[in-house]
């Protein structure tokens, strides 16, 4: 993802960091980090589930608690912290003999490894979401998704940019950067919550998912425009055209590939007899697609999502889903806890004078961020009984995608500290508000519950009326009834 490149998370840096650090200490620090991550995700997820909120919200909050805002167990260099702020490094110094001189190198390597695992986690998450989605359903709502995505980019961008320039006197380039940050939608967070709520394959869920994918592509194009504007004072038209063509070609190619590759994949999987005969070829395909997306300057997660959509069409889908779930359970929490851990709630403290200007701008950006996405539901047409509020709410979270804009803007020097803090606050609040709001706008359906409770009796009555013939209730038919 562009997020990690924006904050200089590169493989050469990882290699140099691990070479200069004691490898055994790096392994020990990563293991301790994973212990912290899994405890935070599990405790947070369970508590969140117990009070009726999506578990992903608990994982994010758990990350905040163990991260730079509270306990400093899991901290990262890009947040402005160093090795002396990490309690894991302190613990290794006390228990494992880590020397103060070697601590910075170990800390850098540990942070790199955890960030790579988080990146891998979100790639696997989007692959899993692709497997749960249906390409035909997505294409059926394609026009609505495109309209929702365009409105979700245009309205926040225009309102945010114009508002900052007129109300706060912000100059054009930083105002455009902040407006661009408002266009993002975190497909990872939204899709996870929809999956937990059992609404991923609903009409609303498919529109949200399709719009979030398109939003991500539009966001990358907008980022390329504002980054070139901040760097040179002019837009690189050639780069923008390249991104539009490559994104379109990639998505169309993935759909075409789905019709060609399905039977070949099943044939290959059937010939493999050793362990991992299905899941390993699937991950090879997913990672190749993620790589192809990354090298044409799209998000790697879009490639993984496209791979999941392709394999969803195969006869092996259900078996593959079962095998992917435990792998996702191991890596996906790393992503959500890391997002929470990198969240610095210190920027919300009004007692610090430098935060006050940022807080005022943050209130404006948060208002535009929420209303600018909620209004997208009104753009849906031809669906009289659809939950438009749910579609708008589903587009709210900015998550890691919003941090991309903040990171690039800060690196370019275009953003002042108050405006940079305001953007971060907007990302934090929209990320944490979306899961409970989605639960609120997607209440439990009484009709579905009643049908689920009475489905056995209903089917028995149908079977009796049908000359006493036995009627088999398959998982697919039960799923249809529940819907």
Q: Is residue 331 within 8 Å of residue 117, measured between CB atoms?
A: yes
189 neighbors 307 (Cβ within 8 angstroms): no
Q: Is residue 161 part of a domain?
A: yes
Structure-derived torsion over alpha carbons of residues 354, 357, 362, 364, reported in degrees to the nearest 10: 180
Rounded CA separation 166/294 (Å)? 37
Q: What is the pLDDT of residue 234?
A: 63
The structure tokens listed for 141 are: 């709502």
More confident residue, 465 or 126: 126
55/159 same-domain check: no
Provide the 8-state DSSP code for 76: -
The DSSP-derived string for 277-292 is TTHHHHHHHHHHHHHH
Distance CA 41, CA 108 (A): 23
Residue 89 CB-density burial (10 A; 0-12 exposed, 13-18 middle, 19+ buried): buried
Provide mean pLDDT across the span 229-234. Answer: 65
pLDDT of residue 66: 94
Domain shared by 136 and 42, yes or no? no
Query: How does 276-314 read in b/e, with b if 16+ C-beta sit within 10 Å?
Result: eebbebbbebbbebbebbbeebbbbbbbbbbbbbbbbbb
Task: Check whether 313 has a pLDDT greater than 80.
Answer: no
Q: Tell me: the pLDDT tens digits for 247-277?
A: 778 877 877 777 677 778 888 888 888 988 8
Last residue of a domain, one of 113, 140, 165: 113
- What band does 287 get if pLDDT is binned at 50, 70 and 90? very high
What pLDDT score was predicted for residue 451?
36
Question: Is 60 exceeded by the pLDDT of residue 306?
Answer: yes
> How many Å apart are CA 58 and CA 402, to the nearest integer?
20
- Final residue belonging to a domain, choices 95, 113, 131: 113
| Element housing 330 (H / E) | helix 317-341
Residue 278 has φ and ψ, to the nearest 5°, of -105, -45
Query: Is 146 in the same domain as 39?
Result: no
User: Is 229 part of a structural domain of the chain?
Assistant: yes
* Mean pLDDT in residue range 451-470: 40
Computed over every residue of the chain, the mean pLDDT equals: 78
- Residues 6 or more apart from 169 whose CB is under 8 A from it? none
Q: How confident is the model at residue 18 (pLDDT cuts 50, 70, 90)?
A: very low
Structurally, how many domains does the chain consist of? 2
Do the domain assignments include residue 3? no
Does residue 453 lie within any of the structural domains? no
Q: Kindly report, residue by residue over 24-39, the tens digit of the pLDDT.
A: 899 999 999 999 999 9
User: For residue 142, is pLDDT > 90?
Assistant: no
Phi/psi-derived region of residue 322, left when phi > 0, alpha when psi is between -120 and 50, beta in every other case? alpha
> What local confidence, expressed as pLDDT, does residue 474 receive?
41
- Supply the pLDDT for residue 230: 66
280 and 328 inside one domain: yes
Per-residue CA distances from 477 to 7, 179, 297, 473 (Å): 48, 46, 42, 6
Q: Are residues 150 and 83 in the same domain?
A: no
State the average pLDDT over residues 430-443.
Answer: 82
More confident residue, 5 or 92: 92
Q: In this structure, are 324 and 182 located in the same domain?
A: yes
Label residue 162 by pLDDT band (50, 70, 90).
very high
- Do residue 354 and residue 255 come from a single domain? yes
Do 109 and 139 lie in a common domain? no
Cα 216 to the center of its chain, rounded Å: 10
Tell whether 159 is covered by a domain: yes
The pLDDT, as a whole number, for residue 117 is 94
Helix extents (H) in 51-102: 55-66, 87-95
Per-residue pLDDT at 323 exceeds 70: yes
Q: What local confidence, expressed as pLDDT, does residue 1 receive?
A: 45
pLDDT given for residue 125 in this prediction: 86
pLDDT score at 386? 84
Q: Percent of the chain having pLDDT more than 90?
A: 21
Question: Lowest-confidence range among 16-20, 206-210, 385-389?
Answer: 16-20
What does pTM read for this prediction? 0.70
- Per-residue pLDDT tens digits for 66-88: 988 889 999 988 767 888 889 99
Residues 168 and 67 in one domain: no
Mean predicted confidence (pLDDT) in 1-6 = 42
**Residue 438 to residue 205: CA distance in whole angstroms:** 11
* In a domain? residue 316: yes
Say what the pLDDT of residue 328 is. 92
Close Cβ partners of 88 (under 8 Å, ≥ 6 residues apart)? 29, 32, 33, 36, 73, 74, 110
- Per DSSP, the three-state class of 289 is helix
CB 182 within 8 A of CB 426: yes
281 and 416 co-located in one domain: yes
How many whole angstroms from its chain centre is CA 168? 31
User: What pLDDT was estimated at residue 81?
Assistant: 80
Share of the chain above pLDDT 70, in %: 80
CATH code for the domain in which residue 295 is found: 1.20.1530.20
If asked whether residues 210 and 240 sit together in one domain, one would say yes
- In terms of residue numbers, what domain contains 108? 23-113
Domain-embedded: residue 451: no
State the Cα–Cα distance between residues 328 and 295, nearest whole angstrom: 24
What is the C-alpha to C-alpha distance for residues 281 and 253, in angstroms, rounded to an integer?
20
Q: What are phi and psi of 69, to 5 degrees?
A: -80, -30
Lowest mean pLDDT among 152-161, 334-343, 450-459: 450-459
Q: Are 396 and 433 in contact (CB under 8 A)?
A: yes
> Which of 95-104, 325-334, 431-440 bottoms out in mean pLDDT, i.e. has the lowest?
431-440
* pLDDT at residue 203, as a whole number: 84
Classify residue 48: in a domain, yes or no.
yes
The per-residue pLDDT for range 376-391, each reduced to its tens digit, is 888 887 777 888 888 8
What is the mean pLDDT of the segment spanning 303-314? 83
Same domain, 273 and 332: yes
Phi-psi label, residue 413: left if phi above 0, alpha if psi -120 to 50, beta otherwise:
left
Query: pLDDT confidence of 222, banded at 50, 70, 90?
Result: confident
What pLDDT shows up at residue 158? Answer: 92
Structure confidence at residue 476 (pLDDT): 44
Among residues 435, 390, 7, 368, the alpha carbon closest in space to that of 183 is found at 368
């Amino acid at each position: 993802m562009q997020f990690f490149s924006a904050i200089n998370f590169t493989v050469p840096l990882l290699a140099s960091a691990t070479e200069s650090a004691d490898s055994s200490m790096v392994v020990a620090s990563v293991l301790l980090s994973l212990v912290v991550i899994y405890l935070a995700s599990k405790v947070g997820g369970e508590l969140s589930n117990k009070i009726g909120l999506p578990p992903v919200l608990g994982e994010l909050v758990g990350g905040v608690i163990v991260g730079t805002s509270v306990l400093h167990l899991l901290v990262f260099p890009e947040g402005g912290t160093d090795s002396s702020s990490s309690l894991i490094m302190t613990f290794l110094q006390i228990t494992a003999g880590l020397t103060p001189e070697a601590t910075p190198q170990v800390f850098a390597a540990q942070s790199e490894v955890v960030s790579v695992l988080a990146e891998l986690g979100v790639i696997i998450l989007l692959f899993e979401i692709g497997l749960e989605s249906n390409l035909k359903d997505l294409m059926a709502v394609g026009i609505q998704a495109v309209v929702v995505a365009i409105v979700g980019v245009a309205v926040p961008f225009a309102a945010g940019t114009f508002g900052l320039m007129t109300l706060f006197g912000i100059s054009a380039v930083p105002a455009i950067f902040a407006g661009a940050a408002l266009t993002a939608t975190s497909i990872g967070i939204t899709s996870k919550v929809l999956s937990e709520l059992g609404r991923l394959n609903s009409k609303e869920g498919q529109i949200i998912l399709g719009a979030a994918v398109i939003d991500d592509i539009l966001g990358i194009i907008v980022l390329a425009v504002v980054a070139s504007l901040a760097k040179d004072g002019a837009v690189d038209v050639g780069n923008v055209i390249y991104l539009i063509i490559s994104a379109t070609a990639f998505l169309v190619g993935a759909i075409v590939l789905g019709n060609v590759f399905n039977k070949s994949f099943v044939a290959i999987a059937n010939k493999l007899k050793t362990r991992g005969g299905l899941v390993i070829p699937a991950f090879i395909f997913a990672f190749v697609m993620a790589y192809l997306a990354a090298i044409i300057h799209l998000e790697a997660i879009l490639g993984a999502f496209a791979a999941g959509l392709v394999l969803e069409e195969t006869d092996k889908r259900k078996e593959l889903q079962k095998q992917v779930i435990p792998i996702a359970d191991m890596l996906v929490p790393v992503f959500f806890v890391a997002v929470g851990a990198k969240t610095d709630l210190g920027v919300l403290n009004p007692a610090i004078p430098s935060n006050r200007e940022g807080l005022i701008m943050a209130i404006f950006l948060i208002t535009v961020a929420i209303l600018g996405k909620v209004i997208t539901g009104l753009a849906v047409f031809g669906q009289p009984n659809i939950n438009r509020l749910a579609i708008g709410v589903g587009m709210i979270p900015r998550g890691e995608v919003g941090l991309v804009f903040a990171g690039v803007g800060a690196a370019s020097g275009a953003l002042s500290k108050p405006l940079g803090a305001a953007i971060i606050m907007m990302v934090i609040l929209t990320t944490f508000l979306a899961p409970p709001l989605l639960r609120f706008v997607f209440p439990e359906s009484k009709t579905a519950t009643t049908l689920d409770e009475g489905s056995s009796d209903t089917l028995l009555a149908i079977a009796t009326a049908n000359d006493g013939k036995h009627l088999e209730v398959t998982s697919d038919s039960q799923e249809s009834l529940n819907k």
